[in-house]
Amino acid sequence: MSNNNEVVVRENKKGVYVRDISIGNHVVVADEPSEVGGNDLGPSPYELLLASLGTCTSITTRMYANYKKIPLDNIIVKLKHEKVHADDCKNCENDNAKIDRISLSLTLEGNLSQEQRDKLLEIANKCPVHRTLTSSVQIISKLD
């Protein structure tokens, strides 16, 4: 990543899990919920992941609707993350293995035909973050 799109995460000492996330000119606070020892001063890492997917889904859908002049008045994206039992997991190490499942519910408001709604759902599922999450991802970690 170049410096102009680099994300930097730092402890901020306001709690054991509280982090300041610097994204360009923006600072976002993240934390863990109180039930796992955090102070709940910001969204958890999984909530931030869902927010990224929901935001990308909404923006991608809006861009397409505007380009095609589809009368879309509003978009609402609701997401939920859960760990579910992996019944048919080929590569699971044990019988109690879990997989990540993200449920995404898309509400499209406006005078839309069923064909337009179906196309917008298709486009929503092609947003760049969705594609990243459903593809093979390499994370290369190193010490500075």
Per-residue pLDDT band for 98 (boundaries 50, 70, 90) equals confident
Choosing among 3.30.1280.10, 3.30.300.20, 3.40.50.2300, 3.40.50.10480, the CATH entry for 44-144 is 3.30.300.20
What is the C-alpha separation between 39 and 17, in angstroms, rounded?
A: 8
pTM reported for the whole predicted model: 0.88
What is the C-alpha separation between 110 and 75, in angstroms, rounded?
A: 9
H helices present in the chain, as ranges: 45-68, 114-124, 128-133
Q: Residues 32-74: pLDDT tens digits? A: 999 999 999 999 999 999 999 999 999 999 999 999 999 999 9
* Three-state secondary-structure class, residue 23: strand
Is the pLDDT reported for residue 136 higher than 70?
A: yes
Chain position carrying tokens 């039992």? 85
For residues 9-20, average pLDDT: 95
